[in-house]
Amino acid sequence: MAVVKSEIAEKSHRRRWVWVVGALLVVLAMAMKPMISHFGGSNKPCHCGKDAHKYSGMVEDCCCDYVTVDHLNEEVLHPILQELVTTPFFRYFKAKLWCDCPFWLDDGMCHLRDCSVCECPENEFPETFKKPFNHVLSSEDLICQEGKPQAAVDRTLDTKAFKGWVEVDNPWTNDDETDNAEMTYVNLQLNPERYTGYTGPSARRIWDAIYTENCPKYPSGEFCQEKKILYKLISGLHSSISVHIAADYLLNEATSTWGQNLTLLYDRVIKYPDRVGNLYFTFLFVLRAATKAADYLEQAEYDTGNPDDDLKTQSLMRQLLYNPKLQAACPIPFDEAKLWKGENGPELKQQIQKQFRNISALMDCVGCEKCRLWGKLQVHGLGTALKILFSIDGQDLLGQSLQLQRNEVIALMNLLNRLSESLKVVHEMGTSAEMTIKGQISAPAAQSCPLQRIWASIVGTKEGQSSAPTSQGCPLQRMWASIVGSR
């Protein structure tokens, strides 16, 4: 009799196992149904697929699509740029950090020590950087490119362009680069761009002045493309800076804990598709400037006094500028030759040049020292890109070859790296940031166990229902515990 009872109990126990496992399989199948549909189980349009890769097609006003840009950035550009900016030549940037704001009395304050900049002592930066630059070359020394229509923007540069670093002010920027007495070298590796606590009216006033006075947003139906360029560039730079702040954010000042702020990333960038689009546009614009000046940049002297480091820098530049994958997939990231075509072209260029110079001057009004450093560097890099694309073989320097300062090249490549880093963050974290925010909005309460989350996705949870302790708040877990738990 005892044997019979034992067999009956064992069969009953097995039936309970089969029933529970079957119930779990049904629950899991129902939970997985949307995912199965997503991967081809249904002919209905798939909306989650679009959300997962929201940005597709050609980047507006550019010659490359989002998917290609992300692929090239991940596989080619970002790794090279990350290594390039750590070389001694690109590590040091010279800037005026102490300048009076030409527009208003500066009252900017930031409360973190990360606001301050660590300047380089004289014995740190390369000795070659202390040597005087070459004088501006006379017109007789400049190689003329013949046969170019006077009004056209040439896409090529002189193949023997580099003739030494020179001191010549950029017509697109405000700083007088030849005034070296007030400039100091800064090691960018010791002063990373990150959150500094610089907020409030002073910070808002900078961007308000940039957008309202110098860079108005034009309606989507605005015919003149040239007038949109400046806005898109500044919007893209603004988005990039916001990405850097969100990606390296002070999460806990008391414990000095840094990390990613997905909420900030979503609220300032991901939430606005036009800001993301302008970020891609600015990246391709600056990339085009670098590739257009490829011959010049390849021949440039990256002399820091260490031959091994200098050869490595030149090698990395060649890898970046003449990369076969880049040339095959996106040979002309941005076509500058289509601009300034009308009779108002020269007038438009002067107007936009003046506006950008004002934006450059506004960097002296930034109240946070480290923010001012990175603002100056990136605006300087953007001004260098504008100079390469629109001031060579065009109206400004007709018949002259490209001349760049060492500081301009340093700013250009560091800006390109910063934009590349922003694209990588948006591509890798954008969806997570969006899901995090939407989850916070739609999730009723914290659910403490995986089985409860599956159950809630099927039967729903009433708004405001609080999470019970795991042993009480998980119906399926209680069921499972009754079988495999204490005996």
Q: How far apart are CA 164 and CA 136, in angstroms?
A: 10
pLDDT for residue 22: 67
pLDDT for residue 55: 78
Average pLDDT over residues 308-327: 95
What secondary structure letter does DSSP report for 465? P
List 120, 330, 368, 474, catalytic entry:
368
Tokens 């750590």, residue located: 86
pLDDT of 470 > 80? The answer is no
Rg for the chain, CA atoms, rounded: 29
127: exposed, middle or buried (Cβ count in 10 Å: 0-12, 13-18, 19+)? exposed
pLDDT for residue 223: 54
Hey, what are 20's tokens?
């529970």
Average pLDDT over residues 210-230: 75
Which tens digit of pLDDT belongs to each residue from 123-156? 555 666 555 544 333 333 323 233 333 323 333 3
Neighbours of 472 (CB within 10 A): 10
pLDDT of 168 > 60? The answer is yes
> Does the active-site annotation cover 371?
yes
What secondary structure letter does DSSP report for 193? -
Those residues with Cβ within 8 angstroms of residue 348's Cβ, 6 or more apart along the chain or in another chain: 224, 226, 227, 340
Which tens digit of pLDDT belongs to each residue from 394-405? 444 444 578 888
Is the Cβ–Cβ distance between 217 and 256 less than 8 Å? no
Is the Cβ–Cβ distance between 59 and 277 less than 8 Å? yes
Which tens digit of pLDDT belongs to each residue from 416-447? 999 999 999 999 988 888 888 877 765 544 44
Greater confidence, 425 or 337? 425
Sign of CA dihedral 356, 358, 359, 360: positive
List 101, 215, 371, 474, catalytic entry:
371
Greater confidence, 120 or 41? 120
Q: How far apart are CA 215 and CA 230, in angstroms?
A: 7
> Does the active-site annotation cover 368?
yes
Q: By mean pLDDT, which of 102-116, 295-309, 330-344, 456-470 is the weakest?
A: 456-470
Average pLDDT over residues 101-112: 58
Q: How confident is the model at residue 170 (pLDDT cuts 50, 70, 90)?
A: confident
Which tens digit of pLDDT belongs to each residue from 368-409? 888 888 999 999 999 999 999 987 544 444 445 788 888 999
pLDDT of 313 > 60? The answer is yes
Is the Cβ–Cβ distance between 266 and 436 less than 8 Å? yes
Q: How confident is the model at residue 172 (pLDDT cuts 50, 70, 90)?
A: confident
pTM over 0.75? The answer is no
In whole numbers, what is the pLDDT of the chain averaged over residues?
74
Which tens digit of pLDDT belongs to each residue from 10-30? 666 666 666 666 666 665 566
Q: How far apart are CA 13 and CA 359, in angstroms?
A: 77
DSSP-derived pairing of the beta strands 257-259 and 184-187: unpaired
Residue 203, φ and ψ in degrees, nearest 5: -65, -40
Q: How far apart are CA 68 and CA 326, in angstroms?
A: 9
